[in-house]
Structure 1
Amino acid sequence: MKNIRNFCIIAHIDHGKSTLADRLLEVTKTITPKEMQEQTLDSMDLERERGITIKSKAIQMQHVHNDEAYTLNLIDTPGHVDFAYEVSRSIAACEGALLIVDATQGIQAQTISNLYQAVDHDLTIIPVLNKMDMPNAMPEEVEDQIIDLLGCKRNEIIHASGKTGMGIDAILEAIVENVPPPVGDPEAPLQALIFDSVFNSFRGIIAYFKVVNGEIRKGDFVKFFNTEKEYYADEVGVLGLGLVPRDVMKTGDVGYIISGIKTSKEVKVGDTITHVKRKCAKAIAGFEEVKPMVFAGVYPIDTEDYEDFRVAIEKLQLNDASLTFMPESSAALGFGFRCGFLGLLHMEIVQERLDREYNMDVITTVPNVPYNVYTTRGEKLEVHNPAGLPDGGSIDYVEEPYISAQIITHADYIGNIMNLCLGKRGELVKQHYLTTNRVELVFDMPLAEIVFDFYDKLKSISKGYASFDYHTTGYRPSKLVKLDILLNGENVDALSALTHVNNAYNLGKRMCEKLKELIPRQQFDVAIQAAIGAKIISRETVKALRKDVTAKCYGGDITRKRKLLEKQKKGKKRMKQVGNVEVPQKAFLAVLKLD
């Protein structure tokens, strides 16, 4: 056990975690040059295309230091704020963390928030200055930032480059010497923490775990503590580039278990595995439930695909523990699910994965955040979608979730960023200069305001230099109204939105204008209206396609033309009663990108 080291890699987006992990695998000869490729641990096509890590990946490496063999278990984690839950689970399975900072960009918002998580779990932090081969690297300046943040000595910061392989040996040496070995009692009853799971269509669910106490052998009869299900461990082993079976997994080991589990409900990430006969007294603590922050209705385009869609989303949830869903139905879209996501990028990725991995074409409604509604009777309701809002007369007040947003940026962009945040109902809490030209701004803001386009706007006004991170701070009372969109007097529930009273008129007008562009012309006039309760606040009309019925009249009395036009008018009126308006998928998506 004294020769095992469990560590993860944490950093902001695009600071070179996956490239550095490639070099570690190369130097420890975990993978052959033939297997080597860019971002080796990012197995999803989507991750390669976008150049981001979406799933944490665990892999075991063997390393010889001072003629002693060491087993290093590495977990590569994502950097985007939407996948912070993956990071929290990886940190729970480690004793040390490599904190990677880009020498060209310095410390950014995600660096700080991931570091705080690691410090909370008492992990040993090894600071690494990456991308030292770049001509625009600023080592002294960034070192000062790291020393301010960590309080470490300058000679403890390792200079490295994921591209050229510089400093990799120093990183391996620091891991072996500084990261403590796992602590646990090999003689105690088995306690293993599940930190991830994947679905394999041939072998069922594969759960990844770390053995905290005791040991597990192939063929053992084990029990999952929280779900209280019992299984035989058909296969246990360690994680190489593939799965490597072993006969026994001892205290401190990180590996996988296959026990023929078919349904997703039976494996919960954060659960504890123990033996049925000699079970542990209590589950491993310190694992919080995920809290989704953005909710949207997801519906199959073809209503007959509902069952396949349900199976697909259950399998996807195994692979992505931060996705939550519950069934719901809509008058416009049929049966589907109300899904909870950690953010907009997360929502986009889930949609893309449903399409690629399960061939599911889906429509996603306007995303919104959870609200607490207090009625005049004193009841408290949690509302995830506008359809669940009670009528105006019975509402006492509504509370919406607030966040503390931390933005780190270059001093040149402060004015623009302040305008953006204040325009989104933000309140400046503090302004702190990290160096002469880098500033940290902290705002209190409603979560609903950052759900749509905040991140994109922040990146464009700061020319990509601002980094952004947030955490929720609780609920506050707010003046919210439900904005309905009516087509020919019919309410389209999938386009409804809950919005602040100050934004309602503007949003209603913009939605009507956008829908006018996107809804195809029919044989009759289509009225598009935005309404708050019974009050119409905006209207646009899509003009009817009309045949020129008077073309055959030339000369003669005007009453002949009038008669034909009246006849056409009656026909259009009749058609309007039976015709229904199809809302294209583009219209649902366009509402999200109104700017």
Structure 2
Amino acid sequence: MTEKIRNFVITAHIDHGKSTLADRFLELTETVAKRDFRSQFLDQMDLERERGITIKMQPVRMDYRGKRDGNYLLNLIDTPGHVDFSYEVSRSLAAVEGAILLVDVTQGIQAQTLANLHLAKKQGLKIIGAVNKVDLAFDKDFLFELKQKIAELIGATPEEVLEVSAKTGKGVGGLLEAAVEKIPPPQGNVSGKLRALVFDSSYDPYKGVIAYVRVVDGKIKKNELLKFFATSASTEALEVGVFRPKLSPTGALETGEIGYVATGIKDPSLVRVGDTVFSKIDETTKPLPGYQEPQPVVFVNFYPEDSNKFEVLEVGLKKLKLNDASLYFIKERQEILGQGFRLGFLGTLHLEIVKERLRREYELDPVVTIPTVRYQAVLKTSLSGQADEVVDIFSPNDLPTPDKLLELREPWVSGEIIVPNNYISGVLNLIQFNRGLAGNVSNISEKNVLLNFSMPLSEIILDFYDKLKSVSQGYASLSYQVSDWRKGELVKLDILVAGEKIEAFSRIVPKEKSYSLGKLTIEKLKEILPREVFAVPIQAA
């Protein structure tokens, strides 16, 4: 049975046509009836279709009749392309054997193309290269050069890199046939003990947590007693099925298949992404390798615009958390703004998506503080030979007093920027201005270079990407990941109004930028605050 299964993902930089290619696959395999079809079919959220991006991975099962030897079961996972959602990509890669690496012929290889390729190689997947949008006008020499470069990256010949147009359907059938022929079938013990990997989940008010699973060994049947290794939670499989792309009950999932299990569990924390599902009657089963928990890198505080809406905000965040395992929040209180929440996000786009969903789904428009990162404070020790104590700092008000502080550390990122040659000077200046360090520069095509860099995360999360697009006329692309912690020359910037410190305005900033940032904040407050009969001093300290 596993010989006729192919599990794969489409991975690419944002806007290179992943979701459109998935649409053509759905049409070609007649998975979705024509009367029900709409563009970006696998993007279920309104926000995804409006922004033209994939935010949450979406699996789908397709029946395909191969040109040579009969019917196949194809399990496709459409993955996000934005750097904020790399965690979604890494989870989906662990559930498949192959990946289609899609590159837009009008844009060429971009930073997130390379980042996703690295993840796929690390997972040991069979990679099929494809150049998309060949229906548009482009330089034929550039196409040949692009196919050569993709071939070098994936270990193939230029002839094996396929040309497609997801918009018109040109070459799509050949690409799907290549996936069947080149991607290996899943390996596993068909008659062995049940082991299934949880790679995602969602929540249904009636069915409880719905675990998205890849069956590695054995078989899952409806009504079977199951157990989750990490949490020891036990349950009965209320429903078992596949994604077509809506939930479609089948009664069982065999070795190598991708599908879902409705658990009936009402507490989402008991079903963790990366956990192993096994049969409760056989508790000697060894767990599968899982994933690292997603680590939030951007932190902000949310406060309800009306204190009476605090409970509504809490309910809204809890419900969003049910379908977003990477969202982190705890209660927080400030003297002026009152009770709210400290939230952690994978990036600034993740923050924007959650904010917008709260507005649309719960009619909430919370007050949001300036995004910040997690710092580390190294405390002085009174005993010689005693190890330094390190504490996490999420807010400027958590900082220890100077007499107790040995040093402050901040997270740094390592990343890659792909940019046309004629904009490299502006990009290097931008990196330097944002306290970054430029690394190796290498040519990846006749027109574009790949620049390695490192930089404090706090500089990235505010407006670095916007500035990068500005200095490169929109042509640069960026990918990065948190790499290490480094000592920083950092200070706490306080804002005083009428001699009183306003905690909500306090920030941790680079010492070298403290004067300019303080001055800028004061000027903005001067414009915003209502005029008084007498002078009110506004100070930065």
Partners of 1:346 and 1:129 in 2: how far apart? 28
Distance 1:263 1:304, change over 3 A: farther
- CA deviation profile, 1:244-278 (whole Å, cap 9, x unmatched): 00111111111111122222222211111111112
- The equivalent of 2:61 in structure 1 is 60
Per-residue deviation, 1:522: 4.8
Residues 286-301 of structure 1: pairs in structure 2 closer than 5 A:
286-301=290-305
Match of 2:433 among 423, 440, 456: 423
Partners of 2:310 and 2:203 in 1: how far apart? 20
Query: 8 Å contact 1:403–1:472 — kept in the other structure?
Result: yes
Query: 8 Å contact 1:401–1:446 — kept in the other structure?
Result: yes
Per-residue deviation, 1:192: 1.0
Distance 1:248 1:414, change over 3 A: same
- The equivalent of 2:419 in structure 1 is 409
More off after superposition, 442-451 vs 196-205: 196-205
Say whether 1:218 aligns with 2:222: yes
Per-residue deviation, 1:437: 2.1
Match of 1:235 among 234, 239, 245: 239
Partners of 1:184 and 1:500 in 2: how far apart? 53
Per-residue deviation, 1:353: 1.3
- The equivalent of 2:392 in structure 1 is 382
More off after superposition, 413-422 vs 265-274: 265-274
- CA deviation profile, 1:412-434 (whole Å, cap 9, x unmatched): 10111111110011111211112
Say whether 1:153 aligns with 2:154: no
- The equivalent of 1:126 in structure 2 is 128
**Which blocks of at least 5 consecutive residues in structure 1 are unaligned?**
532-595
Query: 8 Å contact 1:366–1:494 — kept in the other structure?
Result: no
Query: 8 Å contact 1:189–1:279 — kept in the other structure?
Result: no
Query: 8 Å contact 2:206–2:264 — kept in the other structure?
Result: no
Per-residue deviation, 1:524: 5.4
Distance 1:47 1:526, change over 3 A: farther
Say whether 1:117 aligns with 2:110: no
Partners of 2:213 and 2:504 in 1: how far apart? 41
- The equivalent of 1:51 in structure 2 is 52
Say whether 1:182 aligns with 2:182: no
Distance 1:481 1:34, change over 3 A: same
More off after superposition, 291-300 vs 248-257: 291-300
The residue type equivalent to 1:315 in the other structure is: K
1:453 aligns to what SS in structure 2?
helix
Query: 8 Å contact 2:164–2:171 — kept in the other structure?
Result: yes
Say whether 1:264 aligns with 2:305: no
Query: 8 Å contact 2:194–2:219 — kept in the other structure?
Result: yes
Tell me how large the CA RMSD over aligned residues is. Answer: 1.4
2:265 aligns to what SS in structure 1?
coil
The residue type equivalent to 1:288 in the other structure is: Q
- CA deviation profile, 1:515-549 (whole Å, cap 9, x unmatched): 22222335654432211xxxxxxxxxxxxxxxxxx
Give me the TM-score of the superposition, normalised by structure 1. 0.87
Partners of 2:304 and 2:102 in 1: how far apart? 41
The residue type equivalent to 1:94 in the other structure is: V
Aligned residues: 531
Identity of aligned residues (%): 47
More off after superposition, 48-57 vs 304-313: 304-313
Query: 8 Å contact 1:274–1:280 — kept in the other structure?
Result: no
Query: 8 Å contact 1:186–1:251 — kept in the other structure?
Result: yes
Say whether 1:6 aligns with 2:16: no
Match of 2:404 among 374, 384, 394: 394
Query: 8 Å contact 2:13–2:111 — kept in the other structure?
Result: yes
Partners of 2:26 and 2:275 in 1: how far apart? 29
Distance 1:260 1:359, change over 3 A: farther
The residue type equivalent to 2:42 in the other structure is: L
Partners of 1:497 and 1:431 in 2: how far apart? 34
1:34 aligns to what SS in structure 2?
helix
Query: 8 Å contact 2:148–2:157 — kept in the other structure?
Result: no
- CA deviation profile, 1:145-195 (whole Å, cap 9, x unmatched): 212322310111111001000111111111111111111112222111111
Per-residue deviation, 1:326: 2.2
**Which blocks of at least 5 consecutive residues in structure 2 are unaligned?**
382-387
More off after superposition, 378-387 vs 110-119: 378-387
Query: 8 Å contact 2:197–2:277 — kept in the other structure?
Result: yes
- The equivalent of 1:82 in structure 2 is 84
Say whether 1:510 aligns with 2:520: yes
Structure (1 or 2) with the larger CA radius of gyration: 1
Distance 1:274 1:359, change over 3 A: farther
- The equivalent of 2:384 in structure 1 is none
Per-residue deviation, 1:225: 1.3
Give me the TM-score of the superposition, normalised by structure 2. 0.95
Partners of 2:221 and 2:157 in 1: how far apart? 44
- CA deviation profile, 1:282-310 (whole Å, cap 9, x unmatched): 22114111121111112222223333322
Query: 8 Å contact 1:189–1:280 — kept in the other structure?
Result: no
Say whether 1:206 aligns with 2:210: yes
Residues 428-443 of structure 1: pairs in structure 2 closer than 5 A:
428-443=438-453
- CA deviation profile, 1:456-500 (whole Å, cap 9, x unmatched): 110111111101011122011111001112222332222211011
Partners of 2:322 and 2:165 in 1: how far apart? 35
Query: 8 Å contact 1:264–1:314 — kept in the other structure?
Result: no
The residue type equivalent to 1:397 in the other structure is: E
Partners of 1:468 and 1:359 in 2: how far apart? 33
Say whether 1:454 aligns with 2:464: yes
Partners of 1:237 and 1:406 in 2: how far apart? 40
Query: 8 Å contact 1:480–1:498 — kept in the other structure?
Result: yes
Partners of 1:269 and 1:527 in 2: how far apart? 52
Say whether 1:351 aligns with 2:352: no
- The equivalent of 2:531 in structure 1 is 521
2:34 aligns to what SS in structure 1?
coil
More off after superposition, 459-468 vs 291-300: 291-300
Query: 8 Å contact 2:129–2:151 — kept in the other structure?
Result: no
Per-residue deviation, 1:512: 1.0
1:2 aligns to what SS in structure 2?
helix
1:452 aligns to what SS in structure 2?
helix
Per-residue deviation, 1:371: 1.0
Say whether 1:367 aligns with 2:399: no
2:310 aligns to what SS in structure 1?
helix
The residue type equivalent to 1:171 in the other structure is: L
The residue type equivalent to 2:34 in the other structure is: P
